[in-house]
Every structure is written in C-alpha cells, then in structure tokens.
Structure 1
Amino acid sequence: MADEGKVVQKDVPAPNPRLNKYYWLVNTEGFPISSSTWEKMWDYVIVTHPQGHDVAESIRGKTNKRVPYPNAPVIQPSASIPSSLSSVQEYLQKLQYNYTGMQFFDVKRYKPLSRLMDMAKDMIKESLPIKCLEAVILSLYLTSPLTSLQRFTIRFKSNHEGRCYRHVVLGVHQGGIYGSLGLSRRLSLMYKPFHYKSLTDLIKDFIASYSECKHELQYIKLGSPVIHDTRSCEQIQWKFLVISLKDIDSPASLKRVLDRYCRAIRTL
C-alpha cells in the first residue's frame, strides 16, 4: 500500500491500536541508535501488533540469526540505463520496506542536496529497511553517475476509506523513454520498468495501479529535474507541477498537461 501521511510521534504511542497503526516513530537521534529510541520502537510494536508483546519478546535479545547485508550497486557512467536502473531497484528491494513503525532516517526534504546524499551514504552503511522517501533519496545517490539520465520526483496523494495517504517515487527519463524507482507496500506503486514511451503512459499506469488498490487518487505533484552533482547545495524542487485529478476530465487533458510539463523541463 502507498505510504501513510507522515506524523512524527516522539513519545510512546497511546494504547489505541486502531489509531496508532497509521502513525510511526522517527529516529531523530542518528546513529548508533540510542537505547531510548529502541525502547520506543518496541513499545510501538507491543501497542500495534495483535500479538505485540509475544512478538517483541520472541525477537529481542536474539543474536544467533544472521541478517543479510546487501551490497550497493556500483553504477558506471558507461553502463546501460535499463540494467543500471534494474540494479538500483533490486538493491532497494533487498533493503526491504520498513514495517517496524520506526523510520530510521530522519529525512527532511528541503535540506541541500549534498546533505541528503550524505544521508544516502548512511543508508548504505547501516543497511536498514526504508520507506518511500528514503528510497527516492537513495535512488538519486545511486543514479548520480548516469549524467544522461533525467531524474524527477513524482508524489501522490490519495484517499482510502476517508484517510489520506501520501507516496513518492523517482521518475527517470532518457531519450523519450520513462520509468520509475522506489519502494511501497504494493509492488504496483513503486518500480516501473524503463520502457514507457511517454510520461503520460507512465502516469496513466500509476493512476490505474491506484485504482486497482481501491484508492481515490487526488493529486500528482511532479518535481523539476534533479542535478547529478552530489555536492551541490541546491534544494530539490519537489513541486514544479501540481495536477488535481478532479480537474482532469479526459485522457486528452491529462496528456496536454503532461506534455506542457515535458516541454518546460527541457528548458531547465
């Protein structure tokens, strides 16, 4: 499922599983993870999981289980785009989606790109499960050697049973071909192979995927292209174009809006 709206909750959750399954904690203290942060995570598990106390007790303190440590792909500038993107996506999925209730990396979207790329290095070093926003930051870092590849963020806001959900993936483009990288609870809402012949085709696929997940998609927000210099102090522009789906009355009108976006970013 697409990612829920982020609410930073720094205290131990109240004992209400119905409410708290839509919240998660954020590790704001960095690494190594402090004992107080671990305790908050385990308290969260006990509150939200149906067998929370038993689950926590069965896992805590065990040291005999070997945890896989995936190696990040080394992307060469001369490598083919499809194989490079496939390698990055495979690595993201090896890290796995984070279901723990504790977001391990405190990502602030409007930090300078260089700071976000330093955080991506921490993600590789720590090799912990991640969520959709972290996956986008990591994808930007890993694809930075591919200077011919255009990268831009695609954010979604949807509604399901009266609750708002937000999600983000990294759109990629080269030579008239589009695709995306990312992580989600649903396979259909993250990676899209690098074979879409227009941005419209890519976005229509996401719209169909949201419909299959029984989500009412409300907004799509497209960012401007992200530069490849990992030492840059520029900020990522996350909201270059906002598309309200209620204002899109036909596939033709969606295509017109996205074609204007494509023309605009070519001039940047």
Structure 2
Amino acid sequence: MPAASGDDDEPSKDAPKDADAELEAAIAAIRGNKDLPRPPYPTLPNMNTPAPMSAKVAAVQAYIEKLSYNFTGVNYFDVRKHRPMSRILETGREVTRQALPIKCVEAVFVAAYLTQGLRELERVPFSFRSQIDGVTYKHIVLAVKHSSKWGSVGLSRRRELYYKDLVYDSLAELFLEYKRSYERVFHTLRRVKVGLPLPHEVHAGEIICWAYISQKCLDVPVAAAALADHGRNCHRLSDQWRLECKKAKELGQKPPIPPQAKKRQEAKQAKTGREVVEEERLETDSSEDERAAMDAADAPADAEPAPPPQQADAPNRPSFLAV
C-alpha cells in the first residue's frame, strides 16, 4: 500500500535490525548532554494590562500559535471534552507548563484557561464538520464575544480555519466567514455545532455544554438565522442550563440533554421502535407461512391440501409475502 501524501516512506526490508537501538542511543546522548540549551518556552500573555479586549484576544492567539500544531499523531494531553470545567482548565494549565505541540481541542482548553479572568469576555465552543474528496473532518474553535462583537481563537493546519478578529456583528456573520474560509481551502462545510458560554466561576463538577444547537449547512439562510438567534440568547440559555444541571445533580441524575439533541434522540428512538414493530410483524407473518407449509408437507398423501392463509386478516401484508 503506498504511503499517504506527505508521510515519510516506510523503511525498506534491508534496514538494519539495530536501527531502534541506534535511535535510543542517540536520544540518550542528547539527554545526557548538559551543554545543550533548553528549548525556549513561550511567554504567557499578560491579561491584566489595560489594553483593549481585541488586543488581549490577539495576544492569546499569538501564544497558542507559538505552541505550534501537533503533526506527530500522538496526543500529549487529555483531549476529552466531556469533563468538569475544572479539569478542562487543569489541562489548559498543563499545556502552558509543558509547552508541547497541540491540536484544536487543546487550543480551546488553553484559550479557556488564559481568558478565565476576563469576565466581560463571553466564550462559546464552536465546532465544524467538513468534507473533501469524501473524507470527513472535525474541527473546533472558541468563539469569543465582547461589546456585541464576535471573533474566535484556536489552532489548525490552516490559519483561515481558526483565528478571526473581534469584528463580526453576530454569530451568524462569524459562521458565514468560516464557511467562506472552508471554501477557500476546498472544503465543504456540512454541519456546525455551538455550545453555551463557558463559566468564569467554576463550581465542583460543573459540566460544559459543547453542543447546544446543531445546524446543517445545506440551507445557509436557515442556519445563519438559527445561529444569530443562539448568539443573542446563549447567555440566558447558559443560566438556565446551569440551574437544570444543579437540580439534576441534587437528584442524583445525569446532566440534562440540550433540547435539540433531545428531539433528535426521541425521533431516533421512535424510528427504532417502528422498525422493531415492523420486524416483529414480518417475522410473525413469515412464521405463519412456514407453519402452513409444514402442515401441508406433514399431511397424508390422500388428504386434501391445506387451504391458503386468509388474506383478509392481513390487508397490509407486503406484496413479497403474498406471492
């Protein structure tokens, strides 16, 4: 099988068997060399300066870019999103301490950690699903809002797909800009998901809502209208979500499901239920036909053949069973 584009060729069969040992020896020699300078660590941005909010957001983005994108295929940090907010912030802090390469999810964690003290900055998870040549890709950034202006921070292989200046008048405008950006890199944007604002006050066990609404991108005006409405109401929805989560925790229940996701789940369950009922009905009809055939086969040779099953009892029987 040929190697994927951009990947190194696989070693030939004639490669020396002690290649791994040589590599380990080289790594040990580098680690043992005390004269080598320590790799530079990016300087954390100062969020307490009296600079404009747009400058602070740009500083967060500049820091994330200095960490560089992780092309190794190995995650150095915990990338699970469905954890309490406190754990997400711990991972963001760990990334700043280790300064290892990251991907889009870790970039969102770092952005949340660095902006945790900026209470006037609203931070909303913004996820994308795109396709190119039949392959589906997922991506996430952190949309930010300040004084009715939207922007975003994050990390990707392409700059067009993460950082947006704090200049857009609505979440819908930010969405349309991302759609244009995806088209510039020859991707087709299929679906977007938007969560609820991340809390600035962290309580024990508080869960983040990563996807409160989900919109297909085939009908752009409908998607844009839904996102504009969510952008206006997400802060109120967040307060309601936190109250529902608190009640569920007190009752020992699971966190509530977002309304849109709940509707999809109910529709899926109803569809599955209909399929099960139809399957059971088909199995029953098939069993009746098989029993009739077995009765006819077991009858004496001089006996009259058993009459066919009455069709009036099953008017909705599929044509392929009535043959």
Query: In which range does the TM-score fall when normalised by the shorter chain?
Result: 0.7 to 0.9
User: Residues 77, 67 of structure 1: CA spacing in aligned structure 2 closer, same or farther, 3 A cutoff?
Assistant: closer
Q: 1:141 aligns with which of 113, 117, 129?
A: 113
Q: What SS is found at the alignment partner of 1:110? A: coil
Residue identity opposite 2:59 in structure 1: S
Unaligned runs of 5+ in 1: 1-14, 22-47
Aligned to 2:77: 105
Residue identity opposite 1:222 in structure 2: V
Q: Distance in 1 between matches of 2:188 and 2:86?
A: 35
Aligned to 1:38: none
For 1:149-184, what per-residue CA distance to the aligned partner results, in whole angstroms no more than 9, with x for missing partners?
110000001111111100000000022100000000
Q: Distance in 2 between matches of 1:239 and 1:179?
A: 18
Question: Does residue 235 of structure 2 align to residue 236 of structure 1?
Answer: no
For 1:179-232, what per-residue CA distance to the aligned partner results, in whole angstroms no more than 9, with x for missing partners?
000000001001101111221211111000101111111110001111012455
Q: Would the aligned equivalents of 1:77 and 1:146 in 2 still touch at CA under 8 Å?
A: no
Question: Does residue 9 of structure 2 align to residue 50 of structure 1?
Answer: yes
Aligned to 1:18: 4
Aligned to 2:196: 224
Q: Would the aligned equivalents of 1:178 and 1:199 in 2 still touch at CA under 8 Å?
A: yes
Please give the residue correspondences for 1:241-252 in structure 2 after superposition, counting only pairs within 5 Å. Answer: 241-246=213-218, 248=219, 250-251=220-221
For 1:94-148, what per-residue CA distance to the aligned partner results, in whole angstroms no more than 9, with x for missing partners?
1111112211002211110001111111111111011000000110010011101
Q: Would the aligned equivalents of 1:144 and 1:230 in 2 still touch at CA under 8 Å?
A: no
Q: Scaled by the length of structure 2, what TM-score is found?
A: 0.63
Question: Does residue 156 of structure 2 align to residue 170 of structure 1?
Answer: no
Q: Would the aligned equivalents of 2:176 and 2:224 in 1 still touch at CA under 8 Å?
A: no
Question: Aligned residue pairs: how many?
Answer: 223
- Greater Cα radius of gyration, structure 1 or 2: 2
CA drift of 1:77 comes to 8.0
Q: Distance in 1 between matches of 2:44 and 2:2?
A: 39
Which stretch has the larger CA shift, 70-79 or 130-139?
70-79
Q: What SS is found at the alignment partner of 2:137? A: strand
Q: What SS is found at the alignment partner of 1:237? A: coil
Q: Scaled by the length of structure 1, what TM-score is found?
A: 0.75
Which stretch has the larger CA shift, 232-241 or 258-267?
258-267
Which structure has the highest strand share of the two? 1
User: Residues 134, 60 of structure 1: CA spacing in aligned structure 2 closer, same or farther, 3 A cutoff?
Assistant: same
Aligned to 1:211: 183
Please give the residue correspondences for 1:124-163 in structure 2 after superposition, counting only pairs within 5 Å. Answer: 124-163=96-135
CA drift of 1:265 comes to 1.1
Question: Does residue 228 of structure 2 align to residue 259 of structure 1?
Answer: yes
Q: Distance in 1 between matches of 2:99 and 2:212?
A: 32
Question: Does residue 169 of structure 2 align to residue 197 of structure 1?
Answer: yes
Aligned to 2:157: 185
Aligned to 2:65: 93
Q: Distance in 2 between matches of 1:154 and 1:171?
A: 6
Q: What SS is found at the alignment partner of 1:18? A: coil
Which structure has the highest helix share of the two? 2
Q: Distance in 1 between matches of 2:176 and 2:150?
A: 12
Unaligned runs of 5+ in 2: 238-323
Q: Would the aligned equivalents of 1:155 and 1:221 in 2 still touch at CA under 8 Å?
A: yes
Q: Distance in 2 between matches of 1:91 and 1:231?
A: 27
Q: Would the aligned equivalents of 2:60 and 2:114 in 1 still touch at CA under 8 Å?
A: yes
Aligned to 2:46: 74
CA drift of 1:16 comes to 7.2
Residue identity opposite 2:232 in structure 1: R
Q: Would the aligned equivalents of 1:179 and 1:193 in 2 still touch at CA under 8 Å?
A: yes
Q: What SS is found at the alignment partner of 1:204? A: helix
Q: Would the aligned equivalents of 2:150 and 2:169 in 1 still touch at CA under 8 Å?
A: yes
Of all paired residues, the percent bearing the same amino acid is 32
Q: Distance in 1 between matches of 2:98 and 2:38?
A: 15
For 1:41-83, what per-residue CA distance to the aligned partner results, in whole angstroms no more than 9, with x for missing partners?
xxxxxxx5237799x9598454546522112123128552111
